[in-house]
Amino acid sequence: MQPPTWPALGTTQSQMLADDWKIFTYAALAVAVLVWALIAFAALRFRRTARNAEPRSQRENNPALEIGWTIAPLVLVIALFGITYHIENEVERLDPNAAVQVDVNAFRWGWTFHYKGGPTVSGTSAAPPEMVLPLGETVALNVTSSDVIHAFWVPDMLFKRDAIPGRVTSFDLTPSKPGTFLGRCGEFCGLDHATMTFRVRIVAPAEYKRWLALETTQ
Amino acid sequence: MTTARGVFVVAALFTGVLAVSYWFTAHEPAGTTLLTFMTAALTTVAVYMFFAQREANLYADNPNATMRDAAGEHVGTFVTRSPAPFWIGITLTAIVLGFVVAPAAAGLGIVVLLFLAGLMIVRSR
Amino acid sequence: MSAAAVAPRVIAPERHDLLSWITTTDHKRIGILYMGTTLFFMAVAGLLAMAIRTQLARPGETLIGPHAYNQIFTLHGTAMIFLVIAPFGLGLANYLIPLQIGAPDMAFPRLNATSFWMFLFGGLIVFAGAATSEGAAAAGWTSYVPLSEITVASGLGQDLWIVGIALVSVASILTSLNFVTTAFILRAPGMTMWRLPIFTWEMIATALLIFMAFPSLTATLLLLFVDRRFGGHAFDPAFGGSPVLYQHLFWFFGHPEVYVLILPFFGIVSEIISTFSGRPMFGYTGMVLAAFAIAGLSMGVWAHHMFTTGAVNNPFFSFVSFLIAVPTGIKFFNWICTMWGGAIRYPTAMLYAVGFLVNFLVGGVTGVMVASPPVDFQAQDSYFVVAHFHYTIGGGSLFALLAALYFWWPKVYGWMLDERLGKIGFAFTFIGFNVTFMPMFFMGLFGMPRRIYTYANAGALPALNIVATAGSYLMLIGALLFVVNVIVSARRRVPAGNNPWDATTLEWATTSPPPEHNFEALPPIRSSRPLWDLAHPRSPESSS
């Protein structure tokens, strides 16, 4: 199973989420490096020394500069918002004809996966349950909780959604990479929050069908 | 006081815009209610300050005022020490602990607090 | 010198016994009480943090089990936010605002003292939960429902948490009332609003935020308490309530709260940078407007803490959250331009102020990252967000807090803190802080949730965690060095004089420490830097 390191990006949605991560990380780094450079330059170049004993001037405004550093960041954040808005809409798009539907129920401290028209898989911290999904097909998940708020989180898919009692929250995952990925509870829920894990195993569609038939007969 | 009033006027206008734009974007009642109450509260203060400004003629707001201008006026007395704050703190603590442990005791505490408040008001006359 | 303000006849000399501290209504004493109490709570919360980092140093560590661990991080977060950072800002403002505006005290001295005692007792009540049979509150500082409902958290500790924080909340509102009234009404002649020191302006904005946000907290706590102890069902889906409602109500307070945690510290850093650069605050008007822009916008972003619920309009909150970066950026550029062309001196206070700039920048840009919901889907409730808010509150507010201690200590006590010990302490704190919290961005990205007492021995987490723990021990050394500094400097008592830093605002125009009535005489006030004007007289024709 994929250990906790750079996320494996197991779904098509996670590819888009990773793009958003990259854009924002580069933007953040660029701004940070620029401003750090300005801070370092100002802090070092204008140290009081024998040669630089008095401040050069007591000037306290520069209207052009002040307007500039208001407008430029404003343009930047509006652009970043546009990117965010677009990517979020893509990621959260729901396919009305999803091939697989799984109802997820979180509880203290484990998970139940009920495949619509199929088996129910359940497990707790001691024996975490495994959700098997077919590669390349859209899976609709409907998440809720039967006690406190939990969250369905698969770090390798860069995605989590809260499991809230009294509410069903729906989202789609389209697995794009075979493998077994760790799932965790992503909302503090008490004593065994740390160990409330599950697994998501992505397999070829044929093998998924075989697994489904096997589970249903049991 | 114009600037001080301006702080509340602008804040009330801003939160009003926020409340309206939030309702028409999100249609979410809890947040809209909170923002609306906030706008109402700030508007209340802003309106008050329109009335307060009429009488306020602070030396502070005159950029050329000197200390001599304000000298000699007796405008009030500052309290320098008082046992009341400590006792009010103790009483409020007893009240809230009472709510947790024994609500009846909390009720008694409220009576004590009201008595203390009355005592303070009478003694400050 | 200028014409003197009338100094009231001193009828009785100032007393220093315990009773005088319990009955004081002097804003300076109340400020010292506040700041001293917050340093005490900081020591406790800091030790709790050391316990957390020690437990997380190795995977599968059994030093602290989940029951104790959940109380520890709950108390750590609650204390740092409600009992350390916010009240330190309020306490420093208590001390400084009347001095900076040329007033003898706050507008409501008795109310001021009452607020302090409510804060102190409220904080003690929160910690008293640890002595109950089921332990202290253990639902996190956010106390989400249903986790904090009576069916799940049945102990008294949670109730004590609720009422303790309610006391602190009301105390904060009353203090803010005092600040705004004082700043509006009690300014000295010539101290127009646009000549106020930046610190006082930031405190006015902070007070405004407290007015707008804390009532929501008080109401939410009341609702939760009624749910728990009086049969309410406000948040119970079986009765038509909703846990999401709690989050709306809580975060409507919770987000402005984090700006309450930073605005006073923006003010501190502004005073220190302009003093040691020998230049006025660049872009004064922009700084003031930016403070209020931040305060106003912060009221409209609360549900960015709820991006993963699927229950809120993510784009609205994302957009407004991005907008806050603009006034914050304005402040950064103003600070840099204040330093630009100066002759910068580097006592410990200035080192911490520059450290603030370096650290808070990380917090700020990662804040823009998590304001993007697609990023937040991974980052929410993970160590990424833990790193983000520690960079803003720790690397930002805490560093500015330390800067404030080094800067204003001479004014409060009349003697200097040792500079060499201060600089060594800064090195340990700065390096330790970054070693602790930088790895956490990666921990979160790699899938480590927050609020967990242990983790599996797999992947990069063990290595990242041991590094973070090592950093925390460096920070501990830095903290101990501050304590040593105080002890050593108290023995030496190097006299400070009125204005050891050559600063320009009114608190430096009086003795160190100031007399009970603050000023024997005030210089004329013709700009935001009265002491500068005094030392650099202009020709009679020029205006300020």
Q: What is the DSSP string of C54-102?
A: HHTSSTT--SS-HHHHHHHHHHHHHIIIIIIIHHHHHHHHHHHHHHHHT
Please state, in angstroms and rounded to a whole number, the distance separating the CA atoms of residues C36 and C88: 9
The residue in chain B having the minimum alpha-carbon distance to the alpha carbon of residue C110 is B85
The residue in chain B having the minimum alpha-carbon distance to the alpha carbon of residue C544 is B63
Please state, in angstroms and rounded to a whole number, the distance separating the CA atoms of residues A131 and C406: 57
- In b/e form, how buried is each residue of A173-190, taking b as 16+ CB within 10 angstroms? bbbbbeeebbbbbbbbbb
In a domain, B76, yes or no: no
Are A70 and C326 a contacting pair, CB within 8 Å?
Answer: yes
B61 and B101 together in one domain: no
Any idea what DSSP says for residue C395? I
Are C186 and C107 a contacting pair, CB within 8 Å?
Answer: yes
Are C492 and C418 a contacting pair, CB within 8 Å?
Answer: yes
Select the residue from A14, A46, A107 to test the C interface by mutation, using most C Cβ atoms within 10 A.
A46
In a domain, B70, yes or no: no
Q: Which residues of chain B have pLDDT under 50?
A: none
pLDDT per position in chain A (218 positions), as tens? 778 889 999 999 999 999 999 999 999 999 999 999 999 999 999 999 999 999 999 999 999 999 999 999 999 999 999 999 999 999 999 999 998 999 999 999 999 999 998 999 999 999 999 999 999 999 999 999 999 999 999 999 999 999 999 999 999 999 999 999 999 999 999 999 999 999 999 999 999 999 999 988 76
User: In this structure, which amino acid lies at residue B7?
Assistant: V
The token pair that represents C373 in the structure block: 């919901």
B48 and B17 together in one domain: yes
Task: Supply angle C-alpha C3, C528, C100, rounded to 5.
Answer: 70
Please state, in angstroms and rounded to a whole number, the distance separating the CA atoms of residues B56 and A178: 74
Residue of C109, C166, C524 lying closest to B79 (CB–CB)? C109
Which residue, of B65, B96, B114, is where some domain finishes? B65
B18 and B60 together in one domain: yes
Q: In C, which residues are within 8 Å of A4 by CB distance?
A: 446-448, 455-456, 458-461
Work out how many domains chain B is built from and give that number. Answer: 2
Task: Supply angle C-alpha C361, C366, C370, rounded to 5.
Answer: 150
Domains in chain C (CATH in brackets) are 22-533 (1.20.210.10)
For residues C129-158, average pLDDT: 94
Neighbouring CB atoms inside 10 A of C539's CB total 5
Residue of B25, B35, B82 lying closest to C110 (CB–CB)? B82
Any idea what DSSP says for residue C521? -
Any idea what DSSP says for residue A123? E
- State whether B69 and C189 contact (CB < 8 Å): yes
Please state, in angstroms and rounded to a whole number, the distance separating the CA atoms of residues C54 and B45: 50
In angstroms, the Cα distances linking C337 to A48, C201, C266 are 16, 19, 15
Per-residue pLDDT at C8 exceeds 60:
no
For residues C94-110, average pLDDT: 96
- By DSSP bridging, strand A139-145 and strand A100-107 are parallel
Work out how many domains chain A is built from and give that number. Answer: 1
In angstroms, the Cα distances linking C396 to A101, C87, C261 are 46, 16, 9
In a domain, B72, yes or no: no
CA distance C289 to chain B (A): 10
In a domain, B71, yes or no: no
User: C365-383, pLDDT tens digit by residue?
Assistant: 999 999 999 999 999 999 9
Q: In C, which residues are within 8 Å of A73 by CB distance?
A: 325-326, 329-330
- State whether C332 and A6 contact (CB < 8 Å): no
- State whether C372 and A147 contact (CB < 8 Å): no
Per-residue pLDDT at C429 exceeds 90:
yes
The residue in chain B having the minimum alpha-carbon distance to the alpha carbon of residue C104 is B78
Tell me, what's the pLDDT at C3? Answer: 41
The subunits that touch chain B, with at least 3 C-beta pairs less than 8 Å apart, are C
CA distance C478 to chain B (A): 35
For residue A186, give the 3-state DSSP assignment: coil
Which residue, of B65, B93, B113, is where some domain finishes? B65
In a domain, B105, yes or no: yes
The token pair that represents A70 in the structure block: 């208001």
Per-residue pLDDT at C544 exceeds 50:
no
- Interchain contact A/C (3 or more Cβ pairs less than 8 Å): yes
- State whether C184 and B63 contact (CB < 8 Å): no
The residue in chain B having the minimum alpha-carbon distance to the alpha carbon of residue C188 is B60
ipTM: 0.97
Could you tell me the residue range of the domain that residue A96 belongs to? 1-218
The residue in chain B having the minimum alpha-carbon distance to the alpha carbon of residue C183 is B4
- By DSSP bridging, strand A130-134 and strand A169-173 are unpaired
B91 and B60 together in one domain: no
Residue of C125, C191, C248 lying closest to B93 (CB–CB)? C125
- State whether C26 and B81 contact (CB < 8 Å): yes
B6 and B57 together in one domain: yes
In a domain, B36, yes or no: yes
B56 and B102 together in one domain: no
CA distance B94 to chain C (A): 10
Contacts across the A-C interface (CB distance below 8 Å): 251
**Packing angle of the helix pair C314-339, A12-45 (nearest 10 deg):** 20
Tell me, what's the pLDDT at B54? Answer: 74
Exposed/middle/buried for residue B108 (C-beta within 10 Å: 0-12, 13-18, 19+):
middle
Share of chain C above pLDDT 90, in %: 95
Which residue would you say has higher pLDDT here, B98 or C403? C403
Global confidence as pTM:
0.95
Residue of B63, B65, B79 lying closest to C25 (CB–CB)? B79
Rounded to an integer, what is the distance from CA C92 to the centroid of its chain?
10
Select the residue from B92, B101, B120, B124 to test the C interface by mutation, using most C Cβ atoms within 10 A.
B92
Please state, in angstroms and rounded to a whole number, the distance separating the CA atoms of residues C526 and C531: 10
CA distance C130 to chain A (A): 17
Could you tell me the residue range of the domain that residue B40 belongs to? 2-65
Tell me, what's the pLDDT at C540? Answer: 52
Q: What is the CATH number of the domain that holds A150?
A: 2.60.40.420
